[in-house]
Amino acid sequence: MYDTILVTLDGTSTDRAIIEHVKQLAKLAQSRLILLHVADGWAARTYGPDAVSPEIAEDTAYLQKVQAEFQSAGISAEAELAYGEPADQIIKWVEKKRCDLVAMSTHGHRFLADLFLGSTATRVRHSIRIPILLLRAK
């Protein structure tokens, strides 16, 4: 059913909710995971894959740590670092990796915050044609 699941990670404590949920789902469905973090700092937006910054080093180490966590649980996982606008990159990676499901934690903003800040989850869900698992972080 869900051969390939794209798991979006933002490098904050909200990730734990989706990580724990996807571990169980991936085991049940025998899914392969694509762990995606989008670096969106100045260096990442300006230089893309050529960016060198403490942010990029931290993001890479974080992705490798989460990938190792899944692999030690017997779950196939790839770690991918993208650069730029998170919603645009998530949409791009869904197509690039032919994902069957997107799994992401949300911060639980309310109407006004979403109106002014925008919502990555909202932009993604209106732009793709596969199921999205949204899990609000506590």
Q: What is the pTM of this model?
A: 0.89
Question: Residues 86-113: what's their mean pLDDT?
Answer: 85
| CA R_g for the chain | 14
Pairwise CA distance, residues 3 & 77, whole Å? 12
- Per-residue confidence band for 120, with pLDDT thresholds at 50, 70 and 90: confident
- Per-residue confidence band for 108, with pLDDT thresholds at 50, 70 and 90: low
Specify the higher pLDDT residue, 1 or 88.
Answer: 88
Question: Residues 59-75: what's their mean pLDDT?
Answer: 97
- The fold of 4-136 is Rossmann fold (3.40.50)
Does residue 40 contact residue 85 with C-beta atoms inside 8 Å?
A: yes
